[in-house]
Amino acid sequence: MTPGCFAGIADRFAAMSSIARTDATGGTLDPEFLAWQTSLPIDRRLLEVDVAGSVAHVEGLVAGGLLTREEGDELQAALQGLPGKVARGEVELPVEEDVHMAVEVWLRATVGELADKLHTGRSRNDQVATDLKLWTRAALARVLAALGQLDAGLDAWIARWGETPMPAYTHRQVAIPVLARLWVGAALREPLARDRRLLAVVEDEIADSPLGAGAIGGNTLPIDPQVPARALGFARPPSNPLDAVGSRDHTLTLAFACARIGQHLARFCADVIELSSDGLVTLSGAVACGSSMMPHKRNPDLFELVRGQAALRQGELVALMTTFQGLGTGYHRDLQQDKQVIFASIDGTVDCLKMITLGLEHLDLLPEPCLRALERGDAIATDLTEHLVSIGTPFRVAYRQIGALVASQRAAGKRLVELEAEDLRAAGLPLSLLEQLDVGASASKRAARYR
C-alpha cells in the first residue's frame, strides 16, 4: 500500500464525529486508518434495513418505558424519512465508520439530544447482525424471484423444443437419443429445484432476531426482545446473545447455495457451448458476440460469461469460510468483511439467473442436425441390443453381436442406420433389426417413462 494513498479520502473524515469513542479509547484515530477502516461505502446498502431495525428497537424502548411514546414517535418519524431523503439526494449520509454510526450521527444533528437515547441497550454488534439477516431476507426473495422467472422461461423453451430428439452425451461422445426436455430438465430444472430447497434452509437460519444481544451479553434494562423481534417479522428473540452476534452461518449457507446455483448454470452453459460448436443449437445475434477480427463469428459469450461467474461464486464462498474460520465466539471486526462478499454473491447470482433466462429465449435447437448427429454417432446401437434381448438373446451376447455389427459397418464406411438386409444376413442377425433404426422413435420411447 502506498503511504499517503488515503490522504485525499482522509480529508473528508475531518468532520467525522467520534460517537463510539471515549476517554478510555484514547485520543483520536489516525485519519488514514480511519479512512481505510470505514465500511460505509459498502454497508450504505443496509440503510433501509438499518432504519427498520432502529424503528423496531425504538418500539422496544417505548414498551420498556425507556422512551415516552412521543419520543419514540419523533425518533421513528425521523428515521423512517431518512432512506427516501438519501435516495432523492436531499441528505448525504455523514462520513462515519459505518452506516449504523452515520444514521445515529445524522439523527443527532436532526432531532438533537433525543437521539442520545437511541442506542440504549443496543450495540452495533446486534445491530449489524440484525441488518444482515433482514438484508438476507430480501436477497432470498430476489434470488427466488429470479429462479421463478427462469422456471417460466424453461416452460416456454420446453413448449418449443421439449419433444425434439437430440443426442445425450457420455464422455462428450454421442451416447443415446433423448428428448430435449430431459436435457434441460437435467441441466437446469431438477438441480435448481434442489437449490431452492437449500435456500429454504437459509430462511430457517435467519428466523431468530439478534436484537437484544447487545455487544455480546445482552443488557440489564427492561427491554423485551420479543417486541423488536415481532415488529421485524422474526420468529423469536435471540436464544443466546453470544451466538446471536457472532454467527454468520446463514451467510455461509447462502453463499454455498449461490455457488451451487453458479455451478449448475455453468454446467448448462458448457452444454450449450458444445452444442453450439457441434452445430446442434443456434443463438440469435441478441445474445451472441462477434469477433473484432474474424467477420464470420457468432460466439456464445453470454454462456461463457455465466460459466465464468461460477468461479467468482466459489471464491466468495471460500472468502467467507476463511474469514470466519478460527474466530473465537462473538463479534470480531473481521466480520465486517462479510458484507461485500455476500452482496457480490447475491448480485452475481441474480444477474446470472436473469442472463440465462434471456439466453434461453434466444436459444434454438436444430432438429435436423440433431438427428444427423445421432445417426453419425451410431446412437441406435443400444436400442438394437435391447431389441435382441427382447427376442430372447442374453444381454452380453447381444451386446457383442451389435458391437461386431458397428465394427463391420464402420469398416465398410457406413453407419448403423445404413444397415441393409444383406449386412444382417451376413452377421446371422434377425431382419427385424431393420425396424429399429429410427433414432427419433428411440428418443420418444425412452422418454415416455419420464414425463
Positions annotated as catalytic residues are 171, 291
Name the CA radius of gyration of the chain, rounded.
31
Torsion, Cα 381 384 389 390, to 10 degrees, reads: 140
Alpha-carbon distance of 261 to 258, in angstroms, equals 5
Alpha-carbon distance of 107 to 58, in angstroms, equals 13
Q: Which amino acid is at 271?
A: D
Alpha-carbon distance of 116 to 294, in angstroms, equals 66
2 versus 22: smaller Cβ distance to ligand ARG: 22
Residues at the contact surface with ligand ARG, assessed by CB under 6 A: 39, 43, 98, 124-125, 128, 331, 333, 335-336
Q: Which amino acid is at 326?
A: G
Who contacts 274 (Cβ-Cβ below 8 Å, separation ≥6)? 169, 172
Q: Determine how many CB atoms are found less than 10 A away from the CB of residue 364.
A: 13
43 versus 208: smaller Cβ distance to ligand ARG: 43
Grid coordinates representing 200 are: 429454504
128 versus 244: smaller Cβ distance to ligand ARG: 128
CB of 246 to ligand ARG, least distance (A): 11
Ramachandran category for residue 134: left, alpha or beta (phi over 0 → left; psi -120 to 50 → alpha): alpha
Residue from 170, 175, 182, 183 nearest 448 by CA: 182
Alpha-carbon distance of 295 to 303, in angstroms, equals 21
CB of 93 to ligand ARG, least distance (A): 14
CB of 31 to ligand ARG, least distance (A): 18
326 versus 413: smaller Cβ distance to ligand ARG: 326
CB of 215 to ligand ARG, least distance (A): 7
336 versus 393: smaller Cβ distance to ligand ARG: 336
CB of 106 to ligand ARG, least distance (A): 16
Helix (H) or strand (E) holding 42: helix 40-43
Residue-level length of the chain: 451
Q: Name the phi and psi angles at 238, rounded to 5.
A: -65, 140
Alpha-carbon distance of 197 to 119, in angstroms, equals 38
314 versus 336: smaller Cβ distance to ligand ARG: 336
The answer to whether 166 and 370 are in contact (CB under 8 A) is: yes
Q: Name the phi and psi angles at 166, rounded to 5.
A: -150, 165
Who contacts 327 (Cβ-Cβ below 8 Å, separation ≥6)? 246, 334, 335
131 versus 386: smaller Cβ distance to ligand ARG: 131
Q: Determine how many CB atoms are found less than 10 A away from the CB of residue 74.
A: 17
CB of 129 to ligand ARG, least distance (A): 9
CB of 331 to ligand ARG, least distance (A): 6
Q: Name the phi and psi angles at 94, rounded to 5.
A: -60, 145
